[in-house]
Amino acid sequence: MKHAVFVDGQEGTTGLRIHEYLAKRDDVEVLRIDPDKRKDAAERARLLNAADVAFLCLPDVASREAAAMITNPNTCLIDASTAHRTVPGWVFGLPELAADQRAKLRAAKRIANPGCHASAFILLLRPLVDAGLVSRELAVSATSITGYSGGGKSMIAQYEAGGDARLNSPRPYALSLKHKHLPEMMTHTGLVVAPIFMPIVGNFYKGLSVTVPLHLSQLKPGVTAEALHAALTKHYAGEQFVRVMPLRDPGTLEEGFFDVQACNDTNRVDLFVFGHDTQVVLMARLDNLGKGASGAAVQAMNVHLGVDEALGL
């Protein structure tokens, strides 16, 4: 029997990409809303409650409103907005987070899809905090560079229209130091001090890389780059979508530059540890439209339904 799936917000960047993934599959029946009824609350509610899995690809307020429309206890909601990522009763949609995360996702009817920057940051830091190598009280900083597709349709149109020389250079943003991903970055790593987080948008369509610098003197005595790398390797052993690259990755060092876009068009995350006796740089890269958004949502759906986790990805 096919699983009924509805995407509320199917015209946005994330919704369109989810539809692309679902189009490859014969185990789902995609429920579609008539274009002239996209804002019809009654019709949206009908489809949400008819679905086995419903994706919410909406702004935060609209996602909360859509979640309140659900009366069918069997409908599993996967929310791609930031609205529910730290809300009790919602399971964080990152299967690789912890040993029991997949069991939680299988049982859940409310799943909050991770943010793109947050996914990279959490995958780097959570195993190190769990292993006691990075203190929960450590004040860390992180920089993320991402393609402009992360800004949605309006930013994509702005870049693709051209004619604005300011867009040729990388553009740091979120200078209020209150980026919307910070709560989940803390909650799902266990850090109790908000990171200083600097995201940067570049003049390329997609691809994302988060960098976390660490002074070894600020960590537990005796912690080395080798120990950090070993903890990541142990945590992600057997994971098909997370690759821990060789320590001080020779290929990257030989080229002299880090390829932010090397995971594009995959659902993969690559993790790196560079460093020497006193300093370490942790790096993670992913496709901000794949593992950073739509791919992660479909992966969470697969886990919930108990099918091959890589199906359609």
Please indicate whether residue 116 is annotated as part of the active site: yes
- 145 near 120, Cβ under 8 Å? no
Of 69, 72, 64, give the one whose Cα is nearest residue 4.
72
Whats the size of the chain, residue-wise?
A: 313
Q: What share of the chain is helix, strand, coil (3-state, %, to 5)?
A: 35, 20, 45
Q: Which of 57, 76, 116, 263 is catalytic?
A: 116
Alpha helix locations (H) across the chain?
A: 13-22, 41-50, 60-68, 101-107, 116-130, 152-161, 182-187, 225-235, 250-255, 295-305
- 313 near 267, Cβ under 8 Å? yes
| Residue given tokens 């987070």 in the structure block | 97
Query: What single letter denotes the amino acid at residue 308?
Result: D
Count CA atoms closer than 13 A to 7's CA, side-chain side: 26
Q: Is 205 exposed, middle or buried (0-12, 13-18, 19+ CB in 10 A)?
A: middle
Residues taking part in catalysis: 116
